[in-house]
Structure 1
Amino acid sequence: MAETNKLSVEKALQKLLRDEPVETASEQRDERAEALREEIKRMRAQRSRLERSPGKGK
Structure 2
Amino acid sequence: MLLYLLAVVGALTVAVLLWRAFGSQNATVPTRRGSVAPDDDPEFLRGLDERNKKAGDDPPA
Q: Could you tell me the TM-score, scaled by structure 1's length?
A: 0.40
Larger radius of gyration: 2
Q: Could you tell me the TM-score, scaled by structure 2's length?
A: 0.38
